Amino acid sequence: MNPLPIPTNPGAPFMARLLRHEWVSAKLRHATHHRTIGFGYLLLSLVAVIIGALLSLIMRTHLAWPNWQLPLHGPILPEEYLALVTMHGTLMLFFVLTVAPQSGFGNLILPAQLGTRHMAFPRINAAGLYLTAFALVTLLAAFFVPGGAPIGGWTAYPPLSATPLAGPGQGFGMDLWLASIALFSIATTLNAINMLTTITNLRCEGLTWERLPLTVWGWFTAALLSILAFSVLLAAILLLFCDRHLHSGFFFPAQDLISGTLLQHRGDGSPLLWLHLFWFFGHPEVYIAILPGMGLTSMVIANFSRRRVFAYRLMIATTLLIGFLGILVWGHHMFVAGLNPFAGTAFSISTIAIALPAAAKVFSWLATTWGSRPRLATPMLFALGFVSLFITGGLTGPILAQPILDEYLHNTFFVVAHFHLIMAMAGVFGLFCATYYWAPLLFHRTLSEPLGKLHFWTTLLGAYSTFLPMHFTGLAAEPRHYSQLTGIAGPSAALLQSTLPLQRHITASAIFLVCAQLPFFLNLLLAWRRPANKDTNPWDATTMEWAPNAFNPHPIDQPSIVYRGPSHYADTGTEFLPQWSPVNTFNTEAE
């Protein structure tokens, strides 16, 4: 494009004249376009997931073969192992499971699903992306500072996170961690404000709340939770920063002894206070990670089963209810941390109550596909895989929700198995489902089915083979955060020694699971070389993003109109009524 001369209007200030310039405004529009931002977020989470997965492989290899030397590094010291744990958790929780489903796919798909062309606040949206990128760089920089990365885990429990005395990485590394997560909180809040406003204000004609696809409900609820939770995390980080640098004592107990140093005159703080603040954020956070996947699973299962979503209104209600209950259950992370037992009972009840809406969701998924002849394309397989992992991981939830059982299991690998299945694996299956399902929109190409199926089956096998055995090592009392299971004195040594064959199996499975992602990347690469799809709606989908030109609208297109709720499939034949079709071609009832 030829840069045109800047229109001369001597009265206007320089910035205004500059912004009015054709070339500048075109660049700005591109940079603030929701699709640019969505792909940017996905790219960030791709970087994070690759690094996070590599860190986990190093941890697994070290657990199974403690004397293994990391090439170019040497043996892995206990504090380095803890740094790996911390960075793996932080990268995966924040930069993968929060960024990709909510900010990434949310930005890419949400406007089209609402029948609108833009988000409510494009510039705020772009600011969110840049802040997130900056937060990621800040976090990764912690590897390269004196002392290395922090070793306090992604939960950063004080008092060990509140003083550099606690170990290497708790100095400058921990400060970088705090800065990174503070930036991340602000970025996620900006993104959530943008999404909530877009959903409340920019739905197209006819798109009532009840007609919103369940994916939108998932994003909406997750954004609400983000607004409530990340501000509290930000406040907690501010207080921890004060404890570290301004000599306050919010989280230090009186007369605390850390690494042989007695910390006096630091107030009567309580580490438990941090746990309250952190988990008030942390538990909603895991629902932020999983709710978009739940919504997508509902829609994809209905799409490929060619059925309506079973109990649609109830699914909206359960989405909101899971979000609401998610705010009330944070104490179940603290059963063994010195929580008042009566409070434990209350949190136990609210936690077990989540089983109700969660089970309702599972039944709806099963009922939707039950007796249909689903088209088992790759997105459908990943949606079913999501259901499978959600059930497997979810069933251990009510077990861990009971304080008396949690007392034994909390610091074992049983919990690791639980949250990796229900949150990490189910969340990642949701992401794969989204990628395969929306590939015709995002890349204008359908991804290869044989490669996709190979990817699905190997990933499913790898996921179960990696995380199911962790239940058993956990029941055999394998503790979390132990860098080495051999060479421990006492009777527990024999017990831990006995889990070593299983440890090697888990490690091999983890390597297999990572290798199983190669077909996926190959698939993306091969799709690049294929010609573009002609068919704009290859899955016979009904939601608005598949309407002709909805994802890629031309400025002079007519605005979208929605005529009905999603997933209207005829009971018998192959007919379906997309949301954008003005005529009812069914002979049956319309709504």
Partner 1 sequence: MPSTITPPEIDRHRISDGNNGHRPPTDKRTGGNGEGDGDNWNNRPRGHRGPHERISQARIGLFFALGGDLMFFVALISVFFVTKASGHFDAYDHFINQWLPTAIPSILWLNTIALLLSSVTAEIARRAMFRDVDAMDEWFGLGRPVSYRAALWLSATLALGILFLAGQWVAWDQLAAQHVFFRSNPSSHFFYLITITHAVHLFLGIVALIVALAALKFSRSLATRQVFVDTTVWYWHVMGALWIFLFLLLEFGQ
**What are the residues binding partner 1 (CB under 8 A)?**
7, 12-13, 16, 19-20, 25, 28-29, 116-118, 120-121, 124, 189, 192-194, 196-197, 200-205, 227-232, 234-236, 238-239, 242, 246-250, 253-255, 267-270, 273, 277, 280, 555-556, 559-560
Nearest CB to partner 1, comparing residues 235 and 391: 235
Nearer to partner 1, 346 or 477 (CB): 346
Phi, psi of 220 (to 5 degrees): -60, -50
Per-residue tokens: 471:
């239940």
Q: Which is nearer to partner 1, 19 or 349 (CB)?
A: 19
Q: Which residue has the tokens 């890349």?
A: 443
Q: Which residue has the tokens 């064959």?
A: 501
Question: What does the alpha-carbon distance between residue 237 and residue 184 come to, in Å, rounded to a whole number?
Answer: 12
**Smallest distance from partner 1 to CB 242, Å:** 7
Q: What distance in Å separates the CA atoms of residue 322 and residue 291, rounded to the nearest whole number?
A: 9
Are 274 and 324 in contact, with CB atoms under 8 Å apart? no
Separation of CA 70 from chain center: 29
- Least separation in angstroms between residue 16's CB and partner 1 is 6
Q: Which is nearer to partner 1, 95 or 230 (CB)?
A: 230
CB 95 within 8 A of CB 48: yes
Q: How many CA atoms lie within 13 A of 27 on its CB side?
A: 10
Tell me the C-alpha distance between 99 and 181, whole Å.
13
Q: Closer CB to partner 1, residue 201 or residue 345?
A: 201
Query: In the chain, helix, strand, coil percent, each to 5?
Result: 65, 5, 30
Q: Cis peptide leading into 159, omega within 30 of 0?
A: yes
In whole angstroms, what is the distance from residue 561 CA to residue 340 CA? 54
Smallest separation (angstroms) from partner 1 to the CB of 409: 28
Q: Which is nearer to partner 1, 29 or 481 (CB)?
A: 29
Residue 17 in tokens: 């004249």
Strands 576-577 and 568-569: antiparallel
> Which residue is listed with tokens 């932080």?
90
| CA atoms of 272 and 349, how far apart (whole Å) | 21
The continuous run of DSSP H or E covering 219 comes out as helix 214-245
**CB-wise, 27 or 481, nearer to partner 1?**
27
**Minimum distance from residue 275 beta carbon to partner 1 (Å):** 12
When the beta carbons of 22 and 540 are compared against partner 1, the nearer one is 22
Q: Minimum CB separation from partner 1 for residue 386, in Å?
A: 29
Cβ 93 to partner 1, closest distance in Å?
19
| Cβ pair 466, 59 in contact under 8 A | no
Minimum CB separation from partner 1 for residue 182, in Å?
12
Cβ closest to partner 1, residue 75 vs residue 559: 559
Q: Which is nearer to partner 1, 234 or 360 (CB)?
A: 234
Q: How far is the CB of 556 from partner 1 (least distance, A)?
A: 7
The alpha-helical segments, DSSP class H, found in 306-354 are 312-327, 341-353
- Min dist. Cβ of residue 536 to partner 1 (A): 22
Q: DSSP 3-state assignment of 197?
A: helix
The least CB distance from residue 188 to partner 1, in Å, is 10
